[in-house]
Chains A and B, each alone.
Chain A
Amino acid sequence: MKEQLKTIQKDALEEISNAEDMKELQAIKVAFLGKKGSLTQVLRGMGKLSKEERPVIGELANQVREGITAALEEKTTSLEKLEMEQQLQNEAIDITLPGRPVKVGGPHLLTQIIEEIEDLFIGMGYEVREGPEVETDYFNFEALNLPKGHPARDMQDTFYITNELLMRTHTSPVQARTMQEYQGIKPVKMICPGKVYRRDTDDATHSHQFTQIEGLYVDKNVRMSDLKGTLNTFAKKTFGEDREIRLRPSYFPFTEPSVEMDISCKVCRGEGCSVCKETGWIEILGGGMVHPNVLSMAGYDPDVYTGFAFGMGPDRIAMLKYGVEDIRHFYTNDIRFLKQFHQA
């Protein structure tokens, strides 16, 4: 019987290993382990064995059964895996076909520039203030050291609504309003972005509506070097660490001393090219130390408080940064224009 069992085991394992599909394997299982299977048949003859032989053969028979069962299971797993692989192979798709599009919108380029600058100054402890686009003559001009009849009012051609009300020509009135709100006692650290308006005929470089961001820092002992350091930080973060800045004296009625800031030309690295009109520098913003008249009109004692202010045009910055050739693109909103700045 021992021999018989061993033969069965050997035959079974061989057949299992040769089996090619689940059906065949099922047949093998029945043929060996089924009610009429060969192992079952053999075990039925156990009764004829001696008491001594019975446990020995019994154990052997169990071993054979377990061996076959294990082999069957193993084969089942591997056949299933094979079948799965086959099935997955059939499920293969053309991965080069286009995916289902996800509709993606995006911010306007000017908003991106503005928010980038906002975030930079928020990081330096500034608050973001907003104000009305229709302003009073007082806040737009007088509070900024531009009394009626001041020649520098000609620098900004204004859309008046009445003698006293106008479309703001810059966002500086927000500074005047904030200072007044802080009543000459609280330091002011703020930037104010927004839309502004000038009597200009729209063309490639002029727009009757455009955007501005201005900044104001008023506290005790604010120095002109602080303005320089702050603008330098801004320029490097916005335009790149490799850019240099240069301040030049200038004139604004609301600041004294006044500055204009240039950054080194990205195209020629200061050598001079057509982009920078051969100077190596590109004008970016204006600013200066807050004029004592502006401080005192807002209730700050100019002997105690000093400050700096600066202002820039996101439109111009966007034009420089991306080489946009016509300011009107920002307001025409051609989808083919807007889409290009998704990832910016």
Chain B
Amino acid sequence: MLVSLNWLKNYVDISGISTEELAEKITKSGIEVDGIEYIAQETKGVVTGYVESCEKHPNADKLSLCQVDVGDEKLQIICGAPNVAKGQKVAVARPGAVLPGNFRIKKVKLRGVESNGMICSLQELGTDDKYIPKGMEDGIYVFPDDVKVGENVEPLLNLDDAVLEFDLTPNRADALSMIGVAYEVAAILDKPIQLPEAEVNTLDEDANDHVKVEVEAPDLTPYYAAFLIKDLEIKPSPLWMSNYLMAAGIRPINNVVDITNYVLLEYGQPLHAFDYDRLHSDKIVVRRARDGEKIVTLDEQERVLTEENLVITNGKESVALAGVMGGFETEVHDGTTAVLLEAALFSPAAVRRTVKQTGLRSESSTRFEKGIDPARVKEAGLRACQLFQKYANGKVYAGAAEFDELDKSEKTVKMNTSQINRRLGTEISAEDIVQILNKLRFHFDRDGDYFTVYAPTRRQDITIFEDMLEEVARIYGYDHLPFTLPDGTPQAGTLTEFQLLKRKVKSYLQGAGLMETITYSLTDEKKIKRLISPEVNEENITPVQLAKPMSEDHKYLRLSLLPELLSIVSYNQARNQNDVAYYELGSIFVSEEETLTHQPEERLRLSGVLSGEWLAHPWQQESKEVDFYVVKGLMEGLFDHLGIQIEFKQVKLDDMHPGRSAALKVHNRTIGFIGQLHPLLQKDMDLKDTYLFDVNLDTVLKIVDRDPEYGQIPKYPSIIRDVAFILDQDVLAGNVKETIEEVGSPLVTQVQVFDVYEGNNIESGKKSIAYSLLYQHPEKTLKDEEVEASFSEIIETVKNKYHAHVRS
């Protein structure tokens, strides 16, 4: 809603307060003023002038040489506008005048002839193209003949106006009218309000003798009135009306159309004027459209209707989409002499349905959708008739053909002082409340501290006590509410065990050098199938899809965080940011239903991607590329940190390097995987060698036992024994380690691989792996013989089991 302050001044006194101050007060009382537009703040020295003569420029075809009377002098001005002509009243920027954009007018010579000023178009005076009245879009602005010469154009063209741009919340439909705004501003400033009086001198003839109104859908049309006006003279609207419309963002067309728009803005009541002669009927029938029924609307589009739409008909065919747009056939035109004026109330739901279906949205439909004041419908019609009479020489028939099942009753809300104070935390007196209600101009009954408020029909949003509570609070001023803290039941605020563990996982990974990321949950068709963890993939999953995605990129609910994470790596590496170590904690959405009837299961996953250099310390010749063991180490560290035994099992997965991937297992149950991205996919995505991990964090965090068991620090010395085995290439280090642990138990408490070697001195097809064994007994010092015996047994077992021999 655009609110012209010059227009508003007609209803409420806003003198003595700056525009900025007024805007802030309105904002603080509940209607956000999003901006202030000064129509033409920067225009100085432009006056009205009379074009006494207009001839062709001697040296230029397209220029005119004009003699213009500006009151105290006559100016010779060269004008390039095609529509300039002798006898016009125009806006003249004299030498020294300033136009918007700090454009200063000077005396100049154009093609050898002196020009002492400029005849202005509205655009040059700062008006937006889209509001320029019809017929003046491509040239200078021409005043009506009755303006005086030599007058300052600022007030004439409303250039001294300021327009407030309201950002209205859906509940405040009342402020979609100048009168509604006037009520609001009057309440805020505690000023009286001056409303227009819609008095009409009518003919003796009654409209009811010429037209009948039938409503076949009373549920959607509780009120319909048809007024008749004849002998109209179509011409431009008075200057002030055009000005106000332009300020409100509506382009002036002609007096009849402008008047309906003017009243729409003034009363918030949409009106529609039909060309009475082209209606070819003496009745108006409001009904639901028939399926497949057609209408050509004002915008010359043919629209096919359904039973969802409410239409106005002449008894035979539809002539308007009720509350949304009129029909082309019955549009007011330059030759119109009589109109049937519609003032009606259509149900918000009916209008909303038509808007949704046709995509048409208008000033009218917006107001119907949000709800209009039932008490003002007929009055608005009368106001328009009054203006037709005054500004279009129309003759108004007495009465109106009406259908009326309108509920104009006021809702009552009961409230009392202590209830209000208890809810607000204030100490407002009953007298204060009386004052507030008076400012709002709400009627009420009072019995001491008890009030019965009659919510005015213009405020359809007020129905319950809490609505009145807000009214009282906002007029009292939110600024005046005290600052308190609740004195209710104390409660210890804590994170849950699960939330604490999540934070623990994050801080571990961050300490280990990984950066947290947040990516999109919605992904595309290609990514949805990629890199799903093996245990998820085993299920019979149907990816969850949006009903109406906005783009193909964000269509499916992800089943793995990895594809989006890989896109980020690719994004970074494309920008020469090669070394990345990222992780993300986020949900995947798992469902086995073909058509979703239940919410999908949301599983929290921890995923990460690493690529490029892991460690770089060049001058000491240290550097390490990310590899499988970096990722494995991260996971080992994480699970150690969580106190969970984890196992890595070789696995082959789609999109993963077949020889460098492992499933993560806890208690023999797969909970994720790690490994290198398949080199083909790497190449496809333009990635350097990239390693990743993916863990079902829901499962993991549920088995964490956060009470570590304490064991005494060993008192007795430990003994270390080292051995290197020559093994076949395909023997796994981990299997040998398991054997050593098995045989060495319980004396061997720790086994570590400290060297892996192949090459010189080792037969081809073989490798050497060296293990370090820690012997430790909790209760005694181990004897050499005991250790020796165990050590020999281990060596013999490994030799036999793996066809190994000891490397000397």
Interface residues of A (CB under 8 A from B): 97-98, 100-108, 110-111, 115, 118, 121-128, 130, 132-136, 149, 151-152, 154-155, 159-162, 164-165, 167, 187, 189, 195, 197, 199, 201, 208-209, 211, 217, 219-226, 228-230, 232-233, 246-251, 256-260, 277, 279, 289, 291-292, 306, 330-336, 338-339
Contacts of B586 in A (CB 8 A): 195
Q: Annotate B589-602 by CB proximity to A: 1 below 8 A, 0 otherwise.
A: 10000011101101
Interface-centre pick from B466, B492, B546, B572 (highest chain A CB count, 10 A):
B466
Binding site for A on B (CB under 8 A): 24, 27-30, 32, 35, 169-172, 348-349, 352, 369-370, 422-426, 464, 466-467, 469-470, 473-474, 478-479, 481-496, 499, 503, 506, 509-522, 544-550, 554, 557, 568, 571-572, 575, 577, 580-583, 586-587, 589, 595-597, 599-600, 602, 614-617, 619-620, 622
Chain B residues whose C-beta falls within 8 Å of the C-beta of A279 in the assembled complex: 24, 27
B424–A223 touching, CB < 8 Å: yes
Interchain Cβ contacts under 8 Å between A and B, 21 examples = A98-B617, A105-B512, A122-B495, A123-B493, A134-B602, A159-B549, A161-B557, A167-B522, A195-B518, A225-B481, A246-B479, A248-B478, A251-B171, A279-B24, A289-B423, A291-B466, A292-B466, A330-B518, A331-B520, A333-B571, A334-B575
Specify which of B28, B493, B509, B600 is in contact with A121 (CB 8 Å cutoff).
Answer: B493
Q: Is the CB of A128 within 8 A of B486?
A: no
**Cβ B547 vs Cβ A249 within 8 A:** no
How far is A11 from B240 in the complex, measured between Cα atoms in Å? 124
Which chain B residues border A292 with CB–CB below 8 Å? 464, 466
Whether A151 pairs with B515 at a CB distance below 8 angstroms is no
Q: Is the CB of A105 within 8 A of B491?
A: no
The smallest beta-carbon distance between B519 and chain A, in angstroms, is 6
Residues of B within 8 A of A123 (CB): 493
CB atoms of B485 and A229 under 8 A apart: yes
C-alpha spacing A125/B517, complex, angstroms: 29
Docked pose: A339 CA to B514 CA in angstroms = 11
A336 touching B422, Cβ below 8 Å: no
- CB contacts (< 8 Å) of B518 on chain A: these are 108, 110-111, 195, 211, 330-331, 333
**Residues of A contacting B370 in the complex (Cβ-Cβ under 8 angstroms):** 151
A154→B510 CA distance, assembly (Å):
41
Question: Nearest Cβ distance between residue A130 and chain B, in whole angstroms?
Answer: 8
Q: Which residue of A lies closest to B508 (CB)?
A: A105
Q: Which residues of A contact B509 (CB under 8 A)?
A: 105
Give B469's nearest chain A residue, CB to CB. Answer: A257
Is A100 a contact partner of B512 (Cβ separation < 8 A)?
no
A149 to B22, CA, bound (A): 35
Give chain A residues whose Cβ lies under 8 Å from the Cβ of B489.
187, 219
Question: Are B490 and A256 in contact, CB atoms less than 8 angstroms apart?
Answer: no
Question: In the complex, which of the residues B24, B572, B599 contacts A136, with contact meaning CB atoms closer than 8 Å?
Answer: B599
Q: Are A256 and B469 in contact (CB under 8 A)?
A: yes
Inside 8 A of A197's CB, which chain B residues have their CB?
A: 521-522
Residues of A within 8 A of B572 (CB): 333-335
CA distance A217 to B482 in the complex (A): 18
Does A115 lie within 8 Å of B615, measured CB to CB?
no
Q: How far is the CB of B614 from chain A (nearest CB, A)?
A: 7
CB neighbours (8 Å) of A133 from chain B are: 521, 587, 589, 602
Cβ contacts under 8 Å, B470 to chain A: 249, 256-258
Nearest Cβ distance between residue B485 and chain A, in whole angstroms?
A: 5
Chain A residues within 8 Å of B587, by CB: 133
- With A189-B491, A226-B486: A209-B595 Cβ-Cβ less than 8 Å: no
A208 touches B425 (CB 8 A): no
Q: Across the two chains, which residue of chain B brings its CB closest to A127?
A: B493
What residues of chain B lie closer than 8 Å to A167, measured between beta carbons? 521-522, 546
B474 and chain A: residue at smallest CB distance: A249
For the complex, give the distance between the alpha carbons of A97 and B617 in Å. 11
9 A-B pairs with the lowest CB-CB distances in the bound complex, closest first: A225-B425, A103-B513, A249-B30, A251-B169, A257-B470, A223-B425, A219-B488, A122-B493, A256-B466
Are the CB atoms of B546 and A223 closer together than 8 Å? no
Q: How far in angstroms is the closest Cβ of chain B from A330?
A: 6
Which B residue's beta carbon lies closest to that of A97? B619
CA distance A106 to B506 in the complex (A): 9
For residue B482, which residues in chain A have a CB less than 8 angstroms away from its CB?
225, 228-229
Residue on B nearest A315 in the bound complex, by CB = B518
User: B287 to chain A: closest CB distance in Å?
Assistant: 22
Nearest-neighbor residue (CB-CB) of B583 within chain A = A105
Instruction: Tell me how far the C-beta of B462 lies from the nearest C-beta in chain A, rounded to whole angstroms.
Output: 10
Closest to B619 in A: A97
Contact of B547 among A121, A149, A162, A256 (CB under 8 A): A162
- Whole-angstrom CA separation of A217 from B489 in the bound complex: 11
> A111 touches which one: B170, B352, B511, B516 (CB < 8 A)?
B516
Assess whether A226 is in contact with B425, with CB atoms less than 8 Å apart: yes
Q: B616 to chain A: which residues have CB within 8 Å?
A: 101
Q: Which of A100, A104, A135 contacts B617 (CB 8 A)?
A: A100
**A224 partner residues in chain B, CB cutoff 8 A:** 423-425, 473, 481
Return B33 CB to nearest CB of chain A, in Å: 9
Q: Which residues of A contact B622 (CB under 8 A)?
A: 100
Residues of B within 8 A of A217 (CB): 486, 488
- With both beta carbons as reference points, the residue of chain B lying nearest to A189 in the complex is identified as B491
Residues of B contacting A154 in the complex (Cβ-Cβ under 8 angstroms): 170
Sample of 11 further A-B pairs with CB below 8 A, known A132-B599, A223-B425, A257-B470: A105-B514, A108-B518, A130-B499, A134-B602, A151-B370, A161-B544, A161-B545, A225-B483, A232-B483, A257-B466, A334-B575
Specify which chain B residues have a CB less than 8 angstroms from the CB of A107 in the assembled complex. 506, 510, 516
Nearest-Cβ distance from residue A313 to partner chain B, whole angstroms: 14
A139 closest partner in B (C-beta): B599
Interface-centre pick from B469, B479, B517, B620 (highest chain A CB count, 10 A) = B517
- Asked whether, in the complex, the Cβ of A230 is within 8 Å of the Cβ of B486, the reply is yes
Which residue of chain B is the closest to A306 with respect to CB atoms?
Answer: B423
